[in-house]
Structures are given as C-alpha cells and as structure tokens.
Amino acid sequence: MKHPEIKKRFEQILSEKGISARELAEKSGVNETSISQYVNGHHIPSNVSSGKMAEVLGVDPLWLMGYDVPVIRRNTAEIAHSDAAFLRKYMRLSQRDQKIIESMIDSMLGE
C-alpha cells in the first residue's frame, strides 16, 4: 500500500533540514532500509522509529506518521505545564468522576 502523505512529509522535512536519508539513519539509529521505505511512501513509521527520527528532525513524531498535527512539537516546558494543569484539575474530582474520565479516555483510545 502506498502512503503518499508520508512520502510527501519525508521529502519535505529532509529537504528543509538539508539531511539525507542515510544521515537520518546514522543520527537516529533507524535502519536505512526502513527510512527508504518511509521516504518512498511504502510504509508508515512505527511509534519507536518516528520518535527517534523526530528527535533528529525536530518535528512531532505523530506528524511523521501522517497524523493531522502541527509539524513542530510543543516544547517540553509547554507539555509539562499542560500536564500539570490537567493533573491538578483531575485530582480535584471525586473518585467516581476520576473513574468516569479514565473510562472515557480508554474508550477514546480504543482500550
């Protein structure tokens, strides 16, 4: 199966960053053959591979996987602040309501 959006994204980011597929493989530790398959749109990167490559490329790993998210990932401080704000609100809920929220999240994630 072809994944033209994946192909387009890899071509775009590699060009913007001025890095070859071989260099990406060396820097990320992802097999060069796998990267070639992503660049050609033959496969979608796994969570692990996209995370390693995203670190090198400075992009959101979900973007590399074809998801409709911004190219640039929020920085760690923004994420930590957002997570802390959510956790403060969650902890103010009753145990019953916490269970409801957990159930909703599991349902949304298909778990």
Which tens digits make up the pLDDT trace of 29-41?
A: 999 999 999 999 9
Whole-angstrom distance, CA of residue 73 vs CA of residue 8: 19
**Residue 23 CA: distances (Å) to CA of 15, 66, 91:** 12, 22, 45
Q: pTM score, two decimals?
A: 0.63
Q: In this predicted structure, what is the pLDDT of residue 109?
A: 84
**Do residues 39 and 50 touch, judged by C-beta distance below 8 A?**
no
pLDDT score, position 74: 59
Complete DSSP assignment for 68-88: SS-SSPPPHHHHHHHHHHHHH
pLDDT tens across the length of the chain (111 residues): 688 899 999 999 999 999 999 999 999 999 999 999 999 999 999 989 999 999 899 898 999 999 988 887 656 666 677 788 888 999 999 999 999 999 999 898 887
